[in-house]
Amino acid sequence: MSIIVLGTVALDSVKTPFGRRKALLGGSAAHFSMAARLFTRVNLVAIVGSDFPRKHIAFLRNKGLNLSSLTMDKGKTFRWEGEYKGDLNSALTLNTELGVLSVFKPQVSEQQRRIENIFLANVDPDIQEHLLRKMHSPTLVGLDSMNYWINTKRKELIKLLKHIDIYVANDQEAKDLSQEGNLIKAAKRLCSFGPKMVLIKKGEHGVLFYAKSSGFIFSLPAYPVEKVIDPTGAGDTFAGGFMGYLAKSAKVNSLAIKKALAYGTVAASFNVEDFGLSKTSKLTPQDLERRLVKFRDCFSF
């Protein structure tokens, strides 16, 4: 079954110990889509400005994405500028220009409103809520956010979580929103806000997953990557592989979730091996499968 993703399509400028790149195609929805497209048809809902290079539109279309709800508005495309130092575990944001994102009201077609798999990637919770209200029959809704919204729109975010199946957060966000120091306690507390499941991304330390109804806790290491070039978008790529697999398998049981976590992990491992979408945009399902086998061999016995 197809999936609809709301988020940002951005122009990212990034500096890492391995080099710098300017105005790369990026954003939460773009990174998500590169992984999710390997499993299912992806409908992208985002906004760009009139400065958005036409070649990027062609690029995204060539990746098989449905761009009918990618709006282009007068003004500037959302831009992010950041730097990674040392072990590349956390980004230092140098500059953010919202541009057209500040006036974004997502529009989707009548046909798209019937899509059952929905991912609300990181963007203002009001925009996430705006889209979710339009959807006719959500069956699996994932949501990602960020510290900025946890701090400035906590109430709106917590209200929105009541309608979410899977809340996806990194470890710091999970601790901040739950106000718990232990990640398992954090996951349980976050589930008490509404989500049935919580997925905590720990970067190079892998992921922790908790399901409220069964009490299942799953934990996977990261795929070991020796040379991390640019981690920008790794979390969104993870979410794309995870949600993409669940949308394709059309069932959410414990085996499907463990496989989805593994696909997300493997997709994210490709993402960090080069700048922006360089690696993930060239990936094939066979690349994912091959690395999945290697990944399983890191821990299966």
Position 220 contacts its own copies (CB under 8 A): yes
Find tokens 């995204």 and name the residue.
60
Among 226, 251, 284, 286, binds its own copies (CB under 8 A): 226
240: phi then psi, degrees, rounded to nearest 5: -65, -45
Contact region for its own copies (CB under 8 A) — 31-39, 124-132, 160-168, 211-219? 211-219
Among 225, 249, 278, 287, binds its own copies (CB under 8 A): 225
- Residue closer to its own copies by CB (options 106, 203) is 203
Distance CA 145, CA 169 (A): 7
- Residue closer to its own copies by CB (options 79, 279) is 279
Site string for its own copies, 140-169 (x = CB under 8 A): ------------------------------
CB 247 to its own copies: min, Å: 18
- Residue closer to its own copies by CB (options 19, 224) is 224
Token pair recorded at residue 106 = 């997502």
CB 171 to its own copies: min, Å: 10
SS3 73: strand
| Residues 242/206, Cβ–Cβ less than 8 Å | no
143: phi then psi, degrees, rounded to nearest 5: -140, 135
| Residues 134/105, Cβ–Cβ less than 8 Å | no
Distance CA 29, CA 160 (A): 19
Residues 249-278 that bind its own copies (CB under 8 A): 255, 258-259, 262
Position 182 contacts its own copies (CB under 8 A): yes
CA dihedral 66, 69, 72, 76 (to 10 degrees): -90
264 Cβ contact partners less than 8 Å away, ≥ 6 residues apart: 35, 207, 237, 238, 239, 240, 241, 242, 245
Distance CA 224, CA 112 (A): 38
Position 22 contacts its own copies (CB under 8 A): no
CB 272 to its own copies: min, Å: 11
Among 129, 221, 273, 274, binds its own copies (CB under 8 A): 221
Position 121 contacts its own copies (CB under 8 A): no
- The single-letter DSSP state of residue 2 is -
Residues of the shown chain interacting with its own copies in the complex, contacts defined by CB under 8 A: 86-87, 181-185, 202, 204-206, 208, 217-222, 224-228, 255, 258-259, 262, 296, 298-301
